[in-house]
Amino acid sequence: MRKLLLLGASALALLVLTSGAAAGPDHGLAGPDDGIGSLGGNNLDPSAALIALDAEQGDVVSTGPFADVVKNLAVAGRGERLMPNATTDVWALDGYAYIGTFNEPCGDGTGANGSGVRIFDVSNPNRVRPAGFLPSVEGSRINDVKVANMGSGTILVHSNESCAGGAGGFEVYEVSNPLSPVHLAHVQVDDSNAVLRDVFGVTDVGVHNLFLFEQGARDYVALQAEGFYGSFQIYELTDPADPQFVSAWGAEHLCPFGPTFCSPDPNADTDAARIVSTVNNWLLQGFGASRNRLLHDMTISADGTKAYLSNWDAGLVLLDISDPANPQYVSTALDPTVRDGEVNSHAAWPTADGKTVVETEEDFEVFSSEVPLGNFTFQDRPTNTIPGVGVSTNAGDDFEANPGNNVTVNATSVTVNSGPLAGNVYPASEGVGNQPRFATTGPITGDAEFVGLACDPVATDLTGKVAIARRGTCFFGDKLANVAAAGATAIVIANNVGDSDWSGIRIWDYSDPENPQLASIFDTLCSVQPRDASCDRRGTYSVHNVIVEGSKAYLSWYSDGVLILDISDPYNPVEIARYHREGPDFEAMNGGIQNFWGIYKESNRPWIYASDRNGGLYVLKEYGSGSAKQGKR
C-alpha cells in the first residue's frame, strides 16, 4: 500500500496516512498501489504493484489467439517449480543456478513450504536437477540472489523483504559446495539518515536487489535499501562473516535546493520537519502514475568503479565508486517525455566499454481506466452522512455520457437497473472514513445523477438520488458533503486516470558519461498495443530485467518471454531472437501463463537462464542466426 508522509501543524508531528487520506485535496494521489510504504521500515516494496496486478487479473480469461514462437532460442532444460507467481530472480555459477521466491509462499524459516532460494544442478543444461535450497528468514521473502567467486570465497548473498513481519536486510553464505552451504552472516540494513533512523524508526528495512563486486583485494556488495535516504548502500565483504557498512548515497542528493524541497545537504540535515517534507515533496512526487524517485536496482561495472542506479523517477544515475566510501555523482539519464510520461527506471546494464547502457522501464498502469478507484478516504467529518464507493474512470465516462439510469449501490458494485446502461455492473470499492457503511445501511437504490467534480455546493436537487462525482481538485470529504447537502442518498466517485502502455527499454549513448543521450527505444507489440487481439489479457507485458554481453541485450519481458536484441548500433536496435510460448498445453506444463522475471547469461557460452514466475527455471540455448529449426523443445 502506498503511503504518504505529511507534516502536522506542529511541523514536527509525523503523520502516516494512506493515499488520498491526506489533510488536503486529493490531487489524484489516491489510486492503485505504487509500492511506496510508510516510515517504519520493511515496507517500501517496489514489487507491491505486481502483487496488486496479480490480484486484479487473477480471474481474467484470455480471448486472444495462442502462439508458439521460437526464433533462434530453444529450451535445453527445466528446473520445474510449479508455484503460481512464486519465482523471482535467477543467477548461475559453476554449474549451479539459484532462484528466489516472491511473496507466496512467505518464508517459514525452514524452506519446507517451498520458499527460500531453490538450487538446481545445471552442469548438464539438458538435464537440470534439483540440488537443494536455502531457507528464507521466517516471515521474509527473497527477491534477489547473487553468487560470485570472490577473493573471500564463493559468496552468495540474498535479499530479505518482510512478507509476514520478518526481517529485512540480507544474508551471506559461502557456497563453494552448493550442496553444503555455510551461513556466514545476517545483516540488518537501516535508513542511512540519522533522523529517519533514530527519530522515526526507519530500521531493519527490506532489501530488494543486490550486486556483488570487487576492487583489488577487497570484496563488496551493493544493495537497494527500502528506506528513504541513502537507498544505495555498499557493504564490504572481505571478511564475509563480518560485513561492514561502507557508504550510502540516495536520490535526495539530486533534490533541488529551496524551502519547499531540500536543504543544501539533506543527508546532513537534522531538522526532522524538513527531512520528512523532502520525502513527501520530492522523493515521492515524480512523473506519471508511479511517481517515487527511490532506488530500485543497481549494476556495477566489471572493474567495480561505476554504479548504474535505476532510481525509478529520478532516472538512471551514474556514480563513480572508485572510492567506495565516497561515491561521486556523474550524471543522470532521464527523459520523461518518451512514451507515456512515465520514467520508472527499473534495471540497467552497460556494455563492456560503458559506451552503451540498456535501461528497462517497469510499468503496471495499463488498463488503469478499468480499475475502480480504491484506497481512498473520506476525511473524518460530521458532514459524512451518506455512504460512498469508488468506481473506474470508464464507469464515470459511461454515466457522464448516458444520463437517465437507475442504480443499486453496495460496497462492491454499482448495478444499473434501468436506463441506457441497463444490465451493466461496475465493480466498486468502499471508501475509508467515518461515513455510514453499506454493511449497516444495506444496498441503496436510486436514480443516478452525474454532478462533475462536486467541489462546490450542488445546485441540482439530488433528493433520493445517487450522485456520481468525478475524482479530483478537492477533498473526497468535500464531494460527499456537497452532494449530501443536496439530498443524495449515496455518492459514487469515478476515477480520473487513463490507460498507458506497458513499457519497453531505453538505450542510452554514454560516449560522454557526463552527458548521456537517448539513442533509441524498443517496444514489443503488446507493450504498446495491449488491446491487440494477439495479446493475452491475463498477461504482463512490461519489460523486466536485462543483461548485456558483447553487442547483445538479453531481456526478460514477462509474458512476451525472453528477447535478444542486437544493440551494436544503439540507435537502431534489432530483435534477433525470442522465446515465447502460449496455449493450454504450455500453461499446463508451466503451471500458468508465461511470466519471465529474471535473466542471466553465462559468459561466452550459449546458455541463458530465465526464471518464470509460474514455472521456475528455464535453461535456453541461443543458436546462430536463422538456425531456430535446429533447436529442440
Cβ neighbours, 10 Å, residue 344:
30
- Judge whether 168 and 161 are in contact, CB under 8 Å: yes
Q: DSSP label at 262? A: B
Buried/exposed code over 450-473 (b: 16+ C-beta within 10 A; e: otherwise): bbebbbeebeeebeebbbbbbbbb
SS3 315: coil
Bridge partner list, 133: 118
The neighbouring-strand residues paired with 374 are none
- Of the candidates 243, 212, 240, the one whose C-alpha atom is nearest the C-alpha of residue 152 is 240
**Which overall architecture, per CATH, does domain 68-367+499-630 show?**
7 Propeller (2.130)
Higher pLDDT, 64 or 118: 118
Q: How many CB atoms lie within 10 A of CB 155?
A: 23
Q: Considering only CA atoms, which of 455, 485, 449, 480 is closest in space to residue 467?
A: 449
To which residue does cell 448495478 refer? Answer: 415
Q: Phi and psi at residue 17, in whole multiples of 5°?
A: -125, 145
Strands 574-581 and 562-566: antiparallel
- The pLDDT tens digits of the residues spanning 150-209 come to 999 999 999 999 999 999 999 999 999 999 999 999 999 999 999 999 999 999 999 999
Distance CA 633, CA 628 (A): 11
Task: Supply the pLDDT for residue 59.
Answer: 54
| Whole-number Å distance between alpha carbons of 221 and 214 | 9
User: For a pLDDT cut of 90, what percent of the chain falls above it?
Assistant: 76
Q: Does residue 460 register a pLDDT over 70?
A: yes
Binning pLDDT at 50, 70 and 90, where does residue 24 land? very low
pLDDT surpasses 50 at 267: yes
> Which residues have C-beta within 8 Å of that of residue 71, sequence separation ≥ 6?
576, 577, 578, 628
The radius of gyration of the chain's CA atoms, rounded to the nearest angstrom, is: 25
The mean per-residue pLDDT over the stretch 437-447 comes to 98
Q: Is the pLDDT of residue 456 over 80?
A: yes
**Lowest-pLDDT range, 56-70, 129-143, 511-525, 600-614?**
56-70
| Integer CA distances (angstroms), 336 to 243, 312, 343, 418, 518, in order | 38, 11, 5, 44, 11
pLDDT confidence of residue 385: 97
The span from the CA of 118 to the CA of 133, in Å, is 4
Contact yes or no for 576/563 (Cβ under 8 A): no
pLDDT of residue 629: 37
Judge whether residue 2 has pLDDT over 90.
no
Dihedral, CA of residue 316, residue 317, residue 322 and residue 328, to nearest 10: 180
Q: Name the one residue in this structure whose C-alpha cell is 524517485.
A: 293
494: nearest Cα among 585, 562, 587, 394: 394
Please tell me the predicted confidence (pLDDT) of residue 71: 63
End-to-end CA distance of the chain: 41
What SS3 string covers 123-143? CCCCCCEEEEEECCCCCEEEC
* Cβ neighbours of residue 268 closer than 8 Å, sequence gap 6 or more: none
Quickly state the pLDDT bin for 375 (edges 50, 70, 90): confident
Of 344, 48, 16, the residue nearest 196 (C-alpha):
16
Cα(153)–Cα(174) distance, integer angstroms = 7
For β-strands 14-18 and 68-71, DSSP reports them as unpaired
Decide: 558 and 527 in contact? Cβ < 8 Å.
no
Strand partners, 33: none
Distances (CA, A) of 383 to 121, 145, 452, 490: 65, 52, 20, 13
Could you tell me if 39 and 201 are in contact, meaning their C-beta atoms sit under 8 angstroms apart?
yes
Q: Is pLDDT above 90 for 217?
A: yes
- Is 61 a residue whose pLDDT tops 90? no
Residue 4 pLDDT class (50, 70, 90 cuts): very low
Q: How big, in percent rounded to 5, are the helix, strand and coil portions of the chain?
A: 10, 35, 50
From 23-37, 328-342, 357-371, the region with the lowest mean pLDDT: 23-37
Q: For 455, what's the count of Cα atoms within 13 Å in the CB-facing half-sphere?
A: 11
What is the Cα–Cα distance from 396 to 369, expressed in whole angstroms?
10
Out of 29-43, 129-143, 525-539, least confident range: 29-43
397: cell is 465516462
For residues 420-439, give the mean pLDDT.
97
In one letter, which amino acid is 352? A
How far is Cα 30 from Cα 16, in angstroms, rounded to an integer? Answer: 14
The pLDDT, as a whole number, for residue 64 is 42
What's the CA gap between 288 and 286, in Å, rounded? 7
Who wins on pLDDT, 104 or 55? 104
Domain ranges, ordered by start, for the chain:
68-367+499-630, 368-494
Higher per-residue confidence, 200 vs 69: 200
Residue 429 reports pLDDT greater than 80? yes
Tell me: the pLDDT tens digits for 76-117? 999 999 999 999 999 999 999 999 999 999 999 999 999 999
- How much is the pLDDT for 15? 26
Q: Per-residue pLDDT for 51 more than 90?
A: no
Amino acid of residue 118: R
Per-residue pLDDT, averaged over 441-458, amounts to 97
Residue-wise pLDDT tens digits, 559-602 = 999 999 999 999 999 999 999 999 999 999 999 999 999 999 98
**Is-contact 268 346, C-beta < 8 A?**
no
Q: Order of strands across the sheet with 607-612? A: 73-80, 616-622, 607-612, 596-601
Rounded Cα gap, residues 170 and 187, in angstroms: 5
Residue 17 has pLDDT above 70, yes or no: no
Give, as one character, the DSSP assignment of residue 193.
S
- Identify the pLDDT of residue 266: 82
d(CA 149, CA 218): 12
- Among 480, 393, 370, 371, residue whose Cα is nearest residue 431: 480
Where would I find the beta strands (DSSP E) of 354-471?
356-361, 377-378, 388-391, 406-409, 413-418, 425-427, 429-430, 432-433, 444-450, 466-470
- Peptide bond before residue 105 is cis, with ω within 30 degrees of 0: yes
Taking 50 as the threshold, does the pLDDT of residue 470 lie above it? yes
Helix or strand holding residue 577 (H, E): strand 574-581
pLDDT, position 23: 27
d(CA 381, CA 485): 14
CB-CB contact of 450 with 466 (8 Å): no
Q: What is the pLDDT of residue 258?
A: 75
Confidence of residue 56 (pLDDT cuts 50, 70, 90): low
